[in-house]
Amino acid sequence: MLFLDITPELLICILLHADAETIRICTQVCNSLRVLVHGSVALRYIMALTAAGVVENPAFSHAPTSERLTALELRESARARMQVSWKQSFSFSFIANMNELLDGFYCAGEAYEMEVYLLPLPIRQNTRPKWENLDLIGTEEAVVGQRIIDINISVKDDLLVAAKYTPSAGHGGGEASLYPYCFSTSSLHPLATGAIKVMDVPPPCLPYVALDVAGDLVVYVVLLHGFDPSYGWPLADDRVFVYNWKTGELKKEISAPPRSYLGRAFLTLDTIVLVNMLTPALEIWDLTSSDSTPSLVLQLPRLQTDFSITEAAARCSHNPHPTTPSSGSLRHDLAFAPDPDAAIIYFTFSIDSPQPEDKRCLLFVHRRSLLRLLEKHRLPVSRSVDERPPTLPYEAWGPPICYWAYSTAFHCSLIAVSGQRCALLDSDGQHIRILDFNVDPWYAYQRSTYSSGKEWRRSPVEQYIADMAHVFAQPVGGQLPFFECTVSCRHSRNYDWVAMDELRILGVLESGQRRFVDILYFGHAVPEP
């Protein structure tokens, strides 16, 4: 019996168990299979999800496949046109120094580190949410001077993790701790055993903390800064702690010389990448192993003499997550979310130099590209204690999978990345560059049919050499392709910085006493889940 002799219904049932690439290949085998695939809504939906680099919200899985496909096509049509459907503006009186944007929620911590505010972002023009004070520091904690140092959220787990510093009475120093809160109630999370004491902070140090959460794990990066004589330089080793936020168990601890680690991102639920500012390099760590060294070291381009990285940050949205949420998660209003496996990692580097102004460089690389390098180069699990981790110079790994940009023309915000897109604000504060690193041919074709006059320009196909000779001591090549368009905000304010998620751009103005966040919605009418 030939394959094509099978009834169409049975063939479709078989192909429903295949991945999108296999289904797409079938359309190129013969006309009969092409007609079969294009005639099946279910098979077209599988291909469309993968091409768009998104996953489906389980809350919408009950809807007929034809409606889900239509919803996805409407979403991609809106993202291709990038025309503002409507705008809402919200004022705020606090100075925000901690910002998180995820799954339709904008979370901001005020500069004096005492309060955290939440703004549920509207998805329908006739709704107008209000700022909510999450009240994470009680009266007793405020009396002793407790402060919030950093925050991170996982809406799927109804989780907000807060790093806090509590000064000791009388003799200086204090305690750095981790608090897992219920996102919707501001109470300690019911699945957590309680607050986690991370470390004692010796006087006269102050801790700088950076958090990231994925699944059950929280990465807690600590740098200790002193008052004098170095004015802000660390006095002790950097520390990286990895905790299970439910049980409080310490899963891994990493120590490094001062001013080593800062930027970090999850690659999988048990693998992270850390930016080592001293070497400089990207280090990939296995959180399940007892190794005291990374599994793979990817060197960054060599800097010019007397140049050094003073700050580094990384962002990849969304983070990996178990297939089953670990608690009753909040309702999600959007039918689709970026696929974590396809997401782009966005690195920012502040570089100190003998020249008057500091430099800021941006680096983009796909999460899956780093995982492929790890799979290819990591040593066996049974490596000896003295065995050095495999180390690759930049020219051996970077050019085919990286894109570099020099940010003198941009105002950078770490929460300006969502999935495979990034929003960069031009120096005039009125034009936003959208970089889309999804260059799937089918997706690009669909975007061109949707765009309705919006010009999406593809990056050069040939080898790209970034103009960074004044920063790096070697050519910085990058062949990672992307599409780019420009969104004009000339009828809005001159923004200080922008952020973005799947269907919105947030323009933030913080100059003087005028503080606003404009929500520019690019979507269509969102159906009720």
Using one digit for the tens of pLDDT, what is the confidence trace for 186-200? 899 999 999 999 999
Comparing 201-205, 368-372, 374-378, 509-513, which segment has the lowest mean pLDDT?
A: 509-513
Burial class (CB within 10 angstroms; exposed 0-12, middle 13-18, buried 19+) of 398? buried
Joined tokens for residue 512: 């003087």
Q: Is the pLDDT of residue 330 over 70?
A: no
Q: What pLDDT does 269 receive?
A: 95
Q: What pLDDT does 437 receive?
A: 96
Q: Is the pLDDT of residue 333 over 80?
A: no
Q: Is the pLDDT of residue 162 over 80?
A: yes
Tens of pLDDT along 209-263?
A: 999 999 999 999 988 865 444 455 556 788 999 999 999 999 999 999 888 998 9
Q: Which of 165-169, 266-270, 432-436 has the highest mean pLDDT?
A: 266-270
Q: What pLDDT does 340 receive?
A: 92
329: confidence class by pLDDT, cuts 50, 70, 90: very low
pTM of the model: 0.90
Q: Is the pLDDT of residue 150 over 70?
A: yes
Of all helices (H) and strands (E), which one includes residue 256?
strand 250-256
Q: What pLDDT does 466 receive?
A: 62
Burial class (CB within 10 angstroms; exposed 0-12, middle 13-18, buried 19+) of 119? buried
The whole-chain average pLDDT of the chain stands at 85
Closest by CA position to 220, among listed 247, 246, 250: 250
Return the higher-pLDDT residue of 520 and 169.
520
Q: Is the pLDDT of residue 36 over 70?
A: yes
Closest by CA position to 423, among listed 441, 400, 405: 405
Average pLDDT for residues 294-307, to the nearest whole number?
94
Joined tokens for residue 196: 């986690």
Q: What pLDDT does 343 receive?
A: 95
465: confidence class by pLDDT, cuts 50, 70, 90: low
Are 456 and 450 in contact by the 8 Å Cβ rule? The answer is: no
Q: What pLDDT does 391 receive?
A: 96
Given the structure tokens 């050519």, which residue do they identify? 475
> Considering the chain, what percentage of its residues have pLDDT values greater than 90?
36
Average pLDDT for residues 34-50, to the nearest whole number?
92
Q: Is the pLDDT of residue 480 over 50?
A: yes
Q: How far apart are CA 331 and CA 103, in angstroms?
A: 10
Are 43 and 15 in contact by the 8 Å Cβ rule? The answer is: yes
Q: What pLDDT does 372 receive?
A: 97
Q: Is the pLDDT of residue 326 over 50?
A: no
Q: What pLDDT does 327 receive?
A: 41
384: confidence class by pLDDT, cuts 50, 70, 90: low
Closest by CA position to 407, among listed 358, 368, 443: 358
Are 124 and 111 in contact by the 8 Å Cβ rule? The answer is: no
Q: What pLDDT does 125 receive?
A: 84
Report the number of secondary-structure helices (H) and strands (E) in the chain: 9, 33
Q: Is the pLDDT of residue 139 over 60?
A: yes
